[in-house]
Structure 1
Amino acid sequence: DLDSDSDSESAADGGVRQASWEVEQSASGAVQRALPAELAAGLRKAREQRQRDEVLESHAELSSLYWKYPEQRQLLTSDLRESARVIFLSAERQFSDPHIVAWGETLESIGREYELPWQYLARLNGVEPRELQAGQSLKVVRGPFGAVVDLSAFTLTVHMHGWYVQEYRIGIGQDGRTPTGRFTVREKLENPTWYNPDGGVVEADDPENPLGEYWLGLGDHIGIHGTTDPKSIGRAASRGCLHLGDADIREVFELLGTGSEVVIRR
């Protein structure tokens, strides 16, 4: 459920409210030809809210519909991406009180306070760690980010408390090798070294390294990483890991922190 009635609470946590992404799939899997009445009403409500500049309320409504009607997501993603950009990916507009940098603080320490990766704060506010100054104003939201992977759709959706942030196309493990369940990001590595299970090592920055530039480890040799083969996106081609294109894995690396939950489902 989403609750956006309290302005004071909204200011305290960046306006983000819990939304449920855990929706049961249709047993038949049949595609509904007619637009469900609830979905149509929700779309009208969200667009009316957006016309009144109620960005948070509109995004909350659309996020709820996104999880409830996965077969109709093409109707939602354009509006969702625009409002997610304003809320989560741009510092142009604030929806809560900014964080005023205190003496001695770092992007990493501020990130811990809000359960956000420092890389996300750096990108959001256009500031490098070494350039941070006391008294500086930073846009923040109350994390953490999480992700839901739908293997059958070849998608990874980053969310914050159920609110849509971004959807990415992915490649998955061949022959059902990608495990399902709830996982946690255990490690984050830039320029990872690849240790081939069949033997051999491919060093970091080697153009033949199949992990690409970023690695998010989920445990048991399963992770989220880049790829040297863009054609493998949207296919079941890996040994079990999830992989994304270069630009997408960089964004996901900045959004997900150590401890972020990743749910993988069929």
Structure 2
Amino acid sequence: MKHLMYRIIIITLVCLFLIRNPLNTGEHAYGKDNVLEHARHAAPDPYLLARNTAENNSYISEDDIIITIDKPDKEAGIKTPEKVVTENRKEEKEEKKKSSHSRTLISEYLEKGKKFEARNELSDLYFAESDNAKRLEIKNKLDELNAELVFSRIPSPDAFLYEVTPGDTLNKIASKFDTNYELIMCINKKVRTNIRVGERLKILNGKVTVLVDKSDFTLTLLLNGYFIKQFPIGIGKSDKTPRGVFVVDNKLINPVWYSPDGIYQFGDPKNVLGTRWIGFEDQEGLYGYGIHGTTEPETIGKEMSNGCIRLRNEDVEELFNYVKAKTEVVIQE
């Protein structure tokens, strides 16, 4: 009888111990054992979370059971919709702050008569701006500044003055400064190639490149990466105008059109090239592309060509003066 009593007492003590100190199964206090294995990878569900508010008591009462949502692991890199929205708003605020700072800086430059610095800042702002009305406002100001900085005989940081010496010709001067004589004539408002000793000519200082944007049907002339002139364009139908970086290979006045249907001389109603042709160097799979004028000015601003970029004749004639062999042309969406 005594042995039976001892056994009952021992069993009772063991049970009390197990109740007060449950075995650690390797799981945590989160309930749903069917999702514990995948909890790190799945979207968070509500869980039962046990907490013990008593300082020296391992017993968990019913009042200590609460429902909670497991928060995503920060290291997992998962963004909640709220976080994405917050980050987008922060980016928008940063863009507005940068835009506001740029406009303030531009105003300060203009007040101090620093038109060159203002033009460069405006150029950066133009390409960063997405609102069409604001872009037009910026473009109008850029045109106003470039009329003096680039397209006049007034000295500027964009250019230098060269004094003609005996034996000089426009071709020799253009070759000396890696430009083309048409551009020198255009900048200096010359209608003839005659020059005289001692005459001072304004020469643009830097690299001219062309940026074609298919998304808004524009061709922009850049000098050292800054906006100096823009023209409206027409592009290829059915996305035939390729994207990429091209290089000018040749320039033709009153070009002949070698079309898939035949050869058409300049002036032929079937010749759609207009008054100028600026051809690109061929690339693998891309042959015969270039920039030209048009006999159909109503197609400017539309996708109507076979893949080339077309401008109004008066615009392509002006562009013709600014580009030369090896001028870089970037075509983007």
Is the aligned partner of 1:98 residue 2:165? Answer: no
Where does residue 212 of structure 1 map in the other structure? 274
Where does residue 13 of structure 1 map in the other structure? none
- Whether the aligned pair in 2 keeps the contact of 1:101 and 1:133 (CA below 8 Å) is yes
After alignment, is 118-127 or 84-93 more displaced?
84-93
SS of 1:175 mapped into structure 2:
helix
Q: For 1:85 and 1:193, how far apart are their aligned partners in 2?
A: 34
Greater Cα radius of gyration, structure 1 or 2: 2
Q: For 1:207 and 1:52, how far apart are their aligned partners in 2?
A: 54
SS of 2:153 mapped into structure 1:
coil
Extract structure 1 runs of 4+ deviating beyond 6 A. 32-35
- Unaligned 5+ segments in structure 1 are 1-27
| Structure 1 residue 159: Cα displacement | 0.4
Matching of residues 154-165 of structure 1 within 5 Å: 154-165=217-228
| Structure 1 residue 54: Cα displacement | 0.6
TM-score (norm 1): 0.82
After alignment, is 167-176 or 202-211 more displaced?
202-211
- Whether the aligned pair in 1 keeps the contact of 2:252 and 2:278 (CA below 8 Å) is yes
Matching of residues 169-184 of structure 1 within 5 Å: 169-184=232-247
Q: Output the amino acid matched with 1:78.
A: N
| Structure 1 residue 221: Cα displacement | 0.6
- Whether the aligned pair in 2 keeps the contact of 1:208 and 1:228 (CA below 8 Å) is no
Where does residue 243 of structure 1 map in the other structure? 310
**Superimposed CA distance per residue, residues 162-209 of structure 1 (whole angstroms, 9 cap, x where no aligned partner):** 1111111100001111111000111111111111112x2211244552
**Superimposed CA distance per residue, residues 20-72 of structure 1 (whole angstroms, 9 cap, x where no aligned partner):** xxxxxxxx9xxx79972211221221122112211111111111212223445
Q: CA 1:70 to 1:259, structure 2 compared with 1: closer, same or farther past 3 Å?
A: farther
Where does residue 118 of structure 2 map in the other structure? 58
Q: For 1:155 and 1:33, how far apart are their aligned partners in 2?
A: 29
RMSD between aligned residues: 2.2
Matching of residues 192-203 of structure 1 within 5 Å: 192-198=255-261, 200-203=262-265
SS of 1:185 mapped into structure 2:
strand
- Whether the aligned pair in 2 keeps the contact of 1:116 and 1:145 (CA below 8 Å) is no
Q: How many residues align?
A: 235
Where does residue 110 of structure 1 map in the other structure? 173
Matching of residues 15-34 of structure 1 within 5 Å: none
SS of 1:131 mapped into structure 2:
coil
> 67, 90, 100: which is aligned to 1:40?
100
Q: Output the amino acid matched with 1:241.
A: C
Is the aligned partner of 1:150 residue 2:206? Answer: no
- Whether the aligned pair in 1 keeps the contact of 2:272 and 2:294 (CA below 8 Å) is yes
SS of 1:41 mapped into structure 2:
helix
Q: For 2:93 and 2:268, how far apart are their aligned partners in 1?
A: 49
Q: For 1:50 and 1:116, how far apart are their aligned partners in 2?
A: 30
- Whether the aligned pair in 1 keeps the contact of 2:220 and 2:228 (CA below 8 Å) is yes
Q: For 1:263 and 1:97, how far apart are their aligned partners in 2?
A: 27
Q: Which has the higher contact order (CA 8 A, sep 6+)?
A: 1
Is the aligned partner of 1:255 residue 2:322? Answer: yes
